[in-house]
Amino acid sequence: MLNHMLQTCRTERSLLLMTSLLLLTYFFIMDVVLYMTLQSTNLANQEKTSSYSPFRPLSAKLLMTAPTNHYILSLATEYFDEYTHFSKIFTFITPNMISAMHLALGFLSGKFVASESLRRRRLGVLIFELRLWLDVYDGVVYRSHKGLHGYRSDRMNLGFVVDTICDTTSGIALCFGVLFYLWKVQVQKPTAILPYTKPSVNGAPVSGDGEKTSVYQQKHPRNHIFYKVLCYGLMLALTGMTFDKTTEAFGGIFTTKMETSLEEETQLEALHSLTMWFVLYSWRLIEAQAMLQYLLLAIFLDRIWEFICFIQYTGYGTLILVNVMSQLQIRNVRNMLKSTSAEYV
């Protein structure tokens, strides 16, 4: 029995390592292609493509989107719609209906994640991944109905508000699922063994009164667990808000057609710089969808508490750093364009 369990653990670990290695290799290759494509692209002047490509047309939002969304979910939804023509056949199915559907899946996922069974929690992860797929697909359906090209948000549309509310509510449901699970198991905090012992007798430690000592563990209080999960939830919200503002700022800078060739050269020089790529790629690693994927991975690996504790400070620190870099880059590019415009005049 023990040998069978050990063999199962080894097999599961090997499978996870192999899958992780394949995914990382896939992401690396796609990132290299993306970088090379960006170097020859002008975001303000792109040709429309007849079929879907993960690299054309590019937008500021797409360049800042998490690899899992860009290379897996978006790829799957776009090709699904392209080959099945679902959005053109079932025109009565609106993006808001899909948003309502993935909201329901968000609640269902939260219920499974709250379970003490690892198998049910993993099922909850798969359900939430399906929710994320539908979340991407409602945008595909919207662009198909409107005849739009490019990966960007239409903030003036009611559907954007509905989708944002559904996304936020689903994230809250997942966080509550994590919270209820941690409350159920009451994460144990290891404590040091009290040193009031005599040398062991027959291999068993004894106390000063000659009685065996017991090693105990103290559990974290519920309010402490709530605070940890709340910190993650607030960080997720802040990441989403700052991501939207940054994509809007970068989009305004790099998708605006310049009046002179000199200004256009300056715009392209800034877009193709290594500094700009570093800032954009930093967002790909910390944006809200990436943070959700990290949590889902922690749930799947049964490392929820370790992740929540780790991300509490490192997450906020990284978010602040990336936002500072982004604002400095935005200011720098705008100043470059202003100085170029002044020189031309």
Q: Please report the pLDDT score of residue 339 as a whole number.
A: 86
- Asked whether residue 268 is domain-assigned, the answer is yes
User: Does 323 have pLDDT greater than 90?
Assistant: yes
Q: Which tokens is 231 given?
A: 């910190």
Residue closest to 288 by CA, chosen among 229, 234, 250, 330: 234
- The dihedral of CA 288, 292, 297, 303: what is its sign? positive
Between CA 34 and CA 38 the distance in angstroms is 6
Amino acid sitting at position 211: E
Mean pLDDT score, 306-323: 95
Q: Please report the pLDDT score of residue 283 as a whole number.
A: 98
- Asked whether residue 318 is domain-assigned, the answer is yes
Percent of the chain with pLDDT over 70: 86
SS (H, E, C) the chain: CHHHHHHHHHHHHHHHHHHHHHHHHHHHHHHHHHHHHHHCCCCCCCCCCCCCECCECCCHHHHCCCHHHHHHHHHHHHHHHHHHCHHHHCCCCCHHHHHHHHHHHHHHHHHHHCCCCHHHHHHHHHHHHHHHHHHHHHHHHHHHHHCCCCCCCCCCCHHHHHHHHHHHHHHHHHHHHHHHHHHHHCCEEECCCCCCEEEEECCEEEECCCCECCCCEEECCHHHHHHHHHHHHHHHHHHHHHHHHHHHHHHHHHCCCCCCHHHHHHHHHHHCCHHHHHHHHHHHHHCHHHHHHHHHHHHHCCCHHHHHHHHHHHHHHHHHHHHHHHHHHHHHHHHHHHHHHHHHC
Least confident of 203-212, 237-246, 249-258: 203-212
Total domains, the chain: 1
Q: Packing angle between helix 74-84 and helix 118-146, nearest 10 degrees?
A: 60
User: Does 256 have pLDDT greater than 50?
Assistant: yes
Q: Which tokens is 210 given?
A: 């000659």
Q: Please report the pLDDT score of residue 218 as a whole number.
A: 57
What is the pLDDT confidence band of residue 214, given thresholds at 50, 70 and 90?
Answer: very low
Q: Please report the pLDDT score of residue 158 as a whole number.
A: 84
Q: Which tokens is 34 given?
A: 């993306």
Mean pLDDT score, 141-158: 79
Q: Please report the pLDDT score of residue 14 as a whole number.
A: 85
Between CA 197 and CA 238 the distance in angstroms is 50
User: Cα–chain-centroid distance for residue 246?
Assistant: 16
Residue closest to 263 by CA, chosen among 201, 196, 344: 344
Between CA 307 and CA 123 the distance in angstroms is 19
User: Does 169 have pLDDT greater than 60?
Assistant: yes
Q: Please report the pLDDT score of residue 333 as a whole number.
A: 95
Q: Which domain holds residue 162?
A: 58-187+219-343
Tell me, yes or no, if the pTM score tops 0.85.
Answer: yes
Residues 6+ apart with CB under 8 A from 324: none
- Asked whether residue 38 is domain-assigned, the answer is no
- Asked whether residue 324 is domain-assigned, the answer is yes
User: Does 179 have pLDDT greater than 50?
Assistant: yes
Provide the terminal-to-terminal Cα distance of the chain, rounded to the nearest Å: 82
- Asked whether residue 47 is domain-assigned, the answer is no
Q: Are 178 and 308 in contact (CB under 8 A)?
A: yes
- Asked whether residue 33 is domain-assigned, the answer is no
For tokens 């799957």, name the residue.
Answer: 76
- Asked whether residue 97 is domain-assigned, the answer is yes
CATH number at residue 241: 1.20.120.1760
Mean pLDDT score, 20-28: 96
- Asked whether residue 11 is domain-assigned, the answer is no
Percent of the chain with pLDDT over 90: 70
